[in-house]
A and B are shown apart, each in its own frame.
Chain A
Amino acid sequence: MRGGALVATLLWAALVAAAAVIVFRAHFTADLSAFLPQTPTATQRLLVSQLREGIASRLIIVAIEGADAASRARVSATVAGQLRKDSRFSSVSNGDQSGLERDRAFLFDHRYVLSESVDAQRFSVAGLKGAIQDTLDLLSSPAGLLVKSLIARDPTGEMLQVIDQAGTGEAPRTQEGVWSSRDGQRALLVAQTQAAGSDTDAQQQAIEAIRAAYAAGRATLPASAQRTVALEMSGPGVFSVSARSTIEHEVLRLSLLSTAAIVALLLAVYRSVPALILGLVPVASGALAGVAAVALGFGVVHGITLGFGITLIGESVDYSIYLFIQARRSWATIGLGVLTSICGFAALLPSGFPGLAQLGLYSISGLMAAALVTRFVLPHWLPRTFAIRDVTPLGLAVAGALRRARGAAWVLGILALGAATILYLHRASLWNRELSALSPVTQADQDLDARLRADIGAPDVRFLVVISGAQKESVLEAAERVGRRLQSLVMTGIIGGFESPTHYLPSLAAQRDRRDAIPEVTQMRARLQQATADLPLHANRLEPFLTDLEAARAHPPLTRRDLDSTSMAAGYDSMMLSDSNGWTAILPLRAATSPTGAYIDIDADKVSAALAGLGSPGEAVVLDLKRAADDLYSTYLAQIVKLSALGLGAIIVLLLIALRSGIRMLRVVAPLALAVLVVAAGLVLAGRELTILHVIGMLLIVAVGSNYALFFDRRATDRQGNAVPLTLASLVIANASTVLGFGVLASSSVPILAALGSTVAPGALLALVFSALLAERLPVADGAVAGGAAAGG
């Protein structure tokens, strides 16, 4: 045996060392990508890439509150000034004039190639007369004062047309020269990062840069204002960073809490420090193996996987509990339990969510390692004098309680009926079908985000028209055709407006057409004479107009580089994407507003109908981001339900093979099914909507709960003979450790961890209780005598 012990120990040490090296070299991440599914269809890929990298993912809304408006404006100006010099930000807007002026200069200088009103008709005598008359009408109104100074250069009102078509809806309120919230209590600033929202490290740097700029701005305030001023930030990048730090913090906290709870439990039971330390060896080995396996299998380990993995502490400690307590080790039963657990977790491996797939691999390898170490290594290490406190009294007490309770087993029938009724009554609202259900972002952060978005007047963009094609120019031309259709929808009030990359950079064809529409100067002068003959604006005052037209005719076509110094560059880049398949133009739609200022929902079907028949290239697709995201989630919910069913099926087949009896299999599975039913009903009663994590939790109730249920199988009880009280005691303690592990998870502030914990913790407990109550027989009734403390072999 000594030789065997040496081999086992050396092998264990070698594997632990190898795993440690892998873990040491592993790359850990804690961004949100664990919750973004890897997607099959092109539209869904676009959606996810938007969520990860789109312009919306790069926005950080900064709010400065407290102090007085002038102080807030001063901080806002300092922050904007500092961030504009920072290459990590592609644009920074706080409502001040400097940025606006550059943009206006670009729009004004290139108005004749940008304006969609420009065509040959525009510069005919009748077209000129009409356009100039419109401008004169505008001039007579108070609003006309806005264009008065431009009339000699722009009598046809092209600048207004360009501003109108590029208009981005209502601007935020301004206070002391910078944007402020509607209630005037916060100064607002919108920063757009160069890096994608999914690049958590870069986002963290950006957030730190904002904090530093804020600190610099705050330092310029008098001491009294410094005390009250405060900074708030929101946006996908901020969420990623805060989720990462929350997860890192939570994983550490929950691991410590879970370990402490289980150590306390085991110390209370064993009254032996060596037993405690030995008992934790399989746990530590399992955790190490789990992380190493994930690092090898996925290349990167998500922080959330470690969070889920905390549950492994409670579960893997079970094996050593059985080893130490049970008089006759039922390795066959334990082994079957390990296999059922593996079946359950294996169902997660094909999941589209990297976080869940990692949980599956982590748990499988962790449990196997823990079980193998307990079975083949730990027994060699038990000292000859190994002794723990005799837990027979606990077993006897449990047995006694069970005997008394068995008479009330019929209550379980009522419980099953009640739970089924509750689920049936709530069947309509059972499931949460929104992708946000998976979000690790806390409710408080979501509320802050909603408030700041409302302040800045940036309602979530929900509808997009997406146009894809192989060539950039053909996509831009298609976007222009789509734009004309959308314009008619604006007229009829179906949409409030839309944005398009071609508002800032029209297709070369459109630019050429518009340039060609401008007559040469002598002809133009003659037409202008004719057009203005009856108007108070005489042609000879419009020489600046003719000069500008000549300049426009001679100007080379605009390219993306011409946008560089303006804030439109970021807008264009976010709407014109390229990848290996070609180009995609994204045209966000704005909702129309009712006279009372409320948004009118966009009818996607009407938009689709209006865009029908445009032909290729530029198959224009109307994308409802929210519905697509929710559809995506429904797809994955369905996938998880299917995978869980497969996992359950695998467990049933495994039990059928191992137990060689359908009835015995049913006896094992029935209490587990009942536990799932009762937990689901309980969650519904507590007002929870079920999410993917709850489904997985239910699968785990079966996978983990079967470990306990199997001990009540007839064959297993036969084998245990008169040692049953010790087995019962070990089950109670092992179950308690598992419930503690998942229970700690239930206390997490990360919603998905809490969902899993709050499902499995009560489920595991109920699985044990129901299994005991429904067991075929409890041989303790035979008056078995305790076999004393277990001794090492």
Chain B
Amino acid sequence: MQYSQKVLDHFMHPHNVGKMENPDATATEGSPSCGDQVTVFLKVNEESKVIEDISFLSYGCASNIATASIITDLAKGKSLEEAKAITWRDAMDALDGLPPVKVHCSVLAADTLQTAISNYEIAHGLKEVPNFSKETIIEELKKIIYPKVGEDIVSLKMVKYVGFSDGEVLIDLNMLSFDSWRDNVAEEIHEHLEKYPEVKKIQINFP
């Protein structure tokens, strides 16, 4: 496994790191038990809706810290609408790539930024709290990386079916029994969906 020089630079000397006093919005994603956690703080100009200041805290590995650092660089000075378009792929490109097994770290940082923006918009009456639906599940699955190749499981067409009724999530996943990443991906799916109170049960089927 090899990190790019950019990853090492942002890891050793991260930009915009540290707790922000009186932020306009904040979000924390991930959990210590999953091995990484990122908090993002935002200061947003109420008139122009421009992100005037942003900072982060990270409990995680080198790529976790580096991707959180680059995400804050990408978002700083952008309007909320512009910042909403920032994805984990942008973070990864800006870092000159990540080893496949580390791509999931970039997802967490991008995800935390988006949640912080969403929290700001909800708090300021700019949008409603979104309803949980099948689309929510698919959006979450797009954040789950198949560590072998460093692409998400939806783009890789590994998700064959998604169903949701009465609190029960049903997912058909095209992963063979000898795939050593199967448990890892299943665990990630649980972590991503269990945070929604609407989800009572998750059933993942394999061929």
The answer on A and B forming one complex is: no
